[in-house]
Structures are given as structure tokens and as C-alpha cells.
Structure 1
């Protein structure tokens, strides 16, 4: 079975989409599939090409058995809607052109970069091969939710194209049950939609003793470390966590933010202007290094803007932190909350509610509950083992041929 996978995020990028695609593709190769990934030169989130790569028309490499074709794109930092859209469109065109010359039995295109789906749909037409749409975000709804763009002609055009993609895809793979229901609500048959949620690589993420050398180097000895690791974007509402930190400066709590994104410079500015002394902001670290930073956390913070759309998402951070058996303080309602509470891997607080955040923070650190959270995280991670999920998705892909 030959699979052509279109995605604009792939390692050495370390965000959730890159990790999901890479780990799935590697497992599919182990199960006998021949996988080719078309992606761009790694540049997320700063919009700068990584060392060792060039932004040229075609670059080829093999990564752990996966054939990777990198194509030229208009590269822009994750700042500014229109520049990012040009980036997306350029990848759509380049991936389509490169895909014309790849032999395959099946095309898979992943969102939320919606123009990737358009490329997959068009390739399917010209190559006369079935295609599968992987839905990792409800786009364009999400860009309206974070305020990047208001409802207008372009949004309505994208929404029409979204429905066309749903209808033309042989199968749709959704990352949440909520997304499936939303797609059904758009008039798409439930029979063509499968759900393959995110998970954790249990070979990489597992419980480990705190890295005391790292604690010393960050000058955090004796602190209660609350960590947010991931993209600093408009959807994540990290200024709320900064405000919480400001009001906890008289305590032993210290907030550790690790990552990059469109809002990072604003957070750095806010820390300086508000003179917030109990926050440390670090740039992104490699996937192999991140577990060292996770190991020093007393509590993992997962936060999103308060909006009904985000009740449909499940941040991948949940699974990685659960695998490390770190208590999770979750500011995301809906399906994410249901999973967290089902496994008792942490506590939920109402998004953007500082009083509830502070109450739950005190509760999650109570010694008598720590074993419950550790056990809950272990059970959660076991049920969302990335290897099992990858095998499940491969079964669905084979059914689409």
C-alpha cells in the first residue's frame, strides 16, 4: 500500500501536528506501508528555515523509513493573517505540483491548514486516486474564534470549500468525537467519518525523576513549578495565566512558559511592563529535550480561550503530560475535560476564571491526591498509546482504497 501524505508541519518541527504525522507515518511503515510525505522546509513557528535546510523547489530525504519531499513555500512567521494565508496557499500549489509525480494508492491531506486539503482534493481528481481528509481543527471556524478574521466574503467562500472537501473525500479522519458531530451537522454522512484521537509516544514520554540540574540552572530550587509547554498563540489565552502569576508573586509559585508563537513577544512585554517576577519564558526546545523540562513540573497547565468552539478540541499536551504522570490543571471545557475527569489525571478550572484557577491550584497540590493523579495519568496514557492509534488509523486508510 502506497500512501501520499500532505502536511505543512513535519519534524524537525516539534508542534503537535508534526509529531502526530511523523509518529503515525513511522508506524505505518513498520506495518508494511510505503509512505511519502510532502511538506515544506521546517520553519514553524518563527518563520525561519531551520539550520541544514533550504527553502527551494524540491528537497528529498528519508526519515525513519518515511520518504520526505520538501517543497518551496512563501515562508512567514506565525504573525499576521494575510502573510500566513500566502504561506498556506503557496504550500497548496507546491504540494500539488510535487504530488503529481508521486505514485500512490491513496492521498491523505491534513488540516487545519485548510489549503492543504484543497491540494489533496485536487490531486485526487487529477491522479484518479481516493483521498482522505484528516480534520485536526474546524477551519475556518477557528480563525473567527481567535479573532484573526471576522465573518466576510472570504470566510463564507472557505466554508463552501470546506463542505466540498468533506463531500469529495472518500473518508474523513477526525481527531475528536466533537469534530465528528460538527461535521455531521454540516450534512455529511456519519458512515464516512472515523475518529482517531491524539495520543502519546510511550517510548519517549514516561515517568522520570526531576532533573535537579535543570532546576538549579533555571534558579527554581524550592519553587512550586507550574508549566505551560506549547504554542503561544491567540487561541491559548496565555495572558490570563500571566495575570494569575502576577497575583501569585507573593507566594512560592513559579510559572514556566516554554514555546514560541504569535503572542510570545506580547507576553514578554507584559512580563516586563507589569514587573511579573515569578514567570520564566523559554524558547521552544527539541522533542528529545522536552521531557527534561516536563520532569521538573509540579503541575502542567493547559489553557485555551473561553469559547464554545474549544469545547470540541483535545490538546495533545494532555496525553504527553499524563504519560509523564504530571498532574494536569486544565482550562479547556468539553471533551478534554471529560477525558481528564474520566481518568482522574488532574483537575478542570473554568477557562479565564482566575478565582476558580486559584482554588483548583490549591486542590491539585494536596498530597493525598497525588497518587490518584499519577495512576490516572498512567491509565490515560495506556489507552491513548500512539502506536495503537496509528494502527487503527491505518486500518481506516486501507478501507478507503
Structure 2
């Protein structure tokens, strides 16, 4: 059981986090014998559950770090209370110290953990990946296309979390620039703390080419990708974004459409290496609008990007290959 909060103030989110920490203890107590426990952070406070589970089951835990929290929240200005910052930094270090191993999702996180004096031999690397069978090139879902009124549209699809760090305002400003092009349509699928603000911006600007769709189950998302002409991933400009690999990049490349990546750092380098998309600087809506039109008017380039992107993630970022590699890392550290 968790206290549900779609979005809200910091204290409400803490209540959401801690409700899971406490309710997870019931599941831990009922579970059988464990050899190894894996926990996901953030939320950082799941470390309390990890410590309890490790003690009850007499098993070590691996702390999978997908974001350097609270550091990222501080850089974005989301947490400013110095007492809270000091307390959470202490907790972070304590949970790291008690973990058997730490697993990082990006090279930036690996480097961040080393800066926090975590020994390299205690760090595993498990990047985001994609189920390349679920996410692949599909025929358009005509029923969904008709229900959304998207027949004949060049659909720009953003599918994923809508948080402050994603800087989706840039996409809305680009939509405003392209409002007189009746073929271009921006489709945002998902939820997050910034969605009410983004919807308010779209309403204030009276954008005729923007629609928001509620959060969808993972198995439904490929239906929306089937409607996409160009996939979109955006990030705001901030220091830690250099070590970010948005998870949406991988299904976007696997689904067989070109990707526009607005951002810097590791995510941008992956898109460049894949050959499956175009990388743009953050917070430049004019450049984004211009790039959308260039891709729209060059279907042969879009086809080339789509094929390269799909081939790249199948080879390098399918979950099967990533998990085999991760288990190999774990076995080598156990033998050393």
C-alpha cells in the first residue's frame, strides 16, 4: 500500500515515499529465503526497506542508483532547506556504505559515486535498456489514430515522465511556432509533477496542435509509437544532465522512427553514436521547430535514421544482453 499522490508539494511526496517504505515491510516479512536483495533508488528512503530486508533475510543488498539524489534535486533548486540536504546526504552515504554493491545506470552516476568515495570494485554498471520485441516498428494503429483525430498528421511523440528536469516547455514553444502548420501535431503521453503547468501553458497559448494523454501501461505504449512520425526526448540544461540517459530514448529508437534529442551529455552521445536521430541544444524552441520541419520534409532521411536507431539498440541495449553483462560483472567481483 502507498499513499497516492500524482503530484504535489515536497512533503506530500515524502509521505508517498515513506508509505511504501513501511508497507513494503509486510511483503518483506512474508517473503521466503533470499540470497540477494536488489532495491531501486530514488526514492532514497527505500534504503530503510533494504536495511530491514537484509537484516531479516540475512542477505546482502544491491543499491541500484538511477539518480544521484539529493544532489540532482539540489542542482535543480527543488530542495533548498540546508538541514534536509545535510540529513539526506548523510542517509545517502549510510545506505551506500551498508550495501553489498552499488549499481549505476549511467557513467555519470558511476563517476558521481566515485566522487563520494565509493570504491570502483563496489560499483556495477546496468544502463537503461529496452524490450526490443515489445518495442519495434509496427503498422499504424488505425483505430487509435482515428479516435485521436490524427489521420494525415505528422505526429511528434513525447512518451514518458513530465518532470521539471525534462524542460518540456521547449517543446510547447516549438508547437506554438508551428501552430499554422496543420499537419504537425504534438502528442504527450504520460504524467509527472510538471504536467498541470504544461497543460496550463498549452491552454493559455490556445495551442491547436497539442494533446496530453494520461499515463498508459507499458504494453499499451507501442500503440502510440505506431502513430509517431518523429519521437522526442527533452532535457533542461543543468550540470547533472550531462550524466543522464533518459529511459525513453531506448524505446523511441527501437520503435522505428527518428528521434530528436534535446539535451547534452551521455544521452546525446548515445543518440549520436546510434545514428538514429538528431541532437539539439537544450532550451532552443526555434531550432527544435526548424528541425521538425526539416525531418518532415525529408522522408528518406527519416527512414535512414529509423533503421540505424533500431539496429543500434537491438545490438547494444536489449535487456537480454544488458542483464547478461551485469551478471558477469557481479560474478567477477565475487571471484576477485
Check if 1:160 corresponds to 2:160. Answer: no
Structure 2 counterpart of 1:337: 268
Contact conserved, 2:110 with 2:123, CA < 8 A, in 1?
Answer: yes
Work out the CA distance in 2 between the residues paired with 1:250 and 1:360. 16
SS at match of 1:325: coil
Q: Any stretches of 5+ residues in structure 1 without a counterpart?
A: 1-71
Structure 2 counterpart of 1:247: 177
Offset, 1:323: 1.1
Structure 1 counterpart of 2:47: 117
Match of 1:374 among 306, 309, 313: 306
Contact conserved, 1:96 with 1:120, CA < 8 A, in 2?
Answer: no
Offset, 1:346: 0.2
SS at match of 2:173: helix
Match of 1:284 among 215, 221, 224: 215
Offset, 1:197: 0.9
Change (3 A) 1:345 1:321: same
Within-5 A mapping of 1:295-306: 295-306=226-237
Within-5 A mapping of 1:294-333: 294-333=225-264
Check if 1:108 corresponds to 2:38. Answer: yes
Contact conserved, 1:132 with 1:400, CA < 8 A, in 2?
Answer: no
Of residues 270-279 and 180-189 in structure 1, the stretch that sits farther from structure 2 once superposed is 270-279
Question: Over the residues paired in the alignment, what is the CA RMSD in angstroms?
Answer: 2.0
Offset, 1:282: 1.4
Of residues 157-166 and 181-190 in structure 1, the stretch that sits farther from structure 2 once superposed is 157-166
Offset, 1:345: 0.8
Offset, 1:120: 0.7
Q: Any stretches of 5+ residues in structure 2 without a counterpart?
A: none
Work out the CA distance in 2 between the residues paired with 1:75 and 1:210. 34
Check if 1:77 corresponds to 2:6. Answer: yes
Which is richer in helix? 2
Match of 2:58 among 128, 149, 158: 128
Aligned residues: 330
Match of 1:196 among 118, 126, 138: 126
Contact conserved, 1:134 with 1:172, CA < 8 A, in 2?
Answer: yes
Structure 2 counterpart of 1:234: 164
Give the TM-score normalised by structure 1: 0.77
Contact conserved, 1:170 with 1:400, CA < 8 A, in 2?
Answer: no
Contact conserved, 1:346 with 1:364, CA < 8 A, in 2?
Answer: no
Contact conserved, 1:132 with 1:397, CA < 8 A, in 2?
Answer: no
Change (3 A) 1:314 1:268: same
Contact conserved, 2:175 with 2:289, CA < 8 A, in 1?
Answer: no
Match of 2:282 among 341, 348, 351: 351
Of residues 237-246 and 94-103 in structure 1, the stretch that sits farther from structure 2 once superposed is 94-103
SS at match of 2:246: coil
Contact conserved, 1:130 with 1:170, CA < 8 A, in 2?
Answer: yes
Change (3 A) 1:286 1:91: closer
SS at match of 1:148: coil
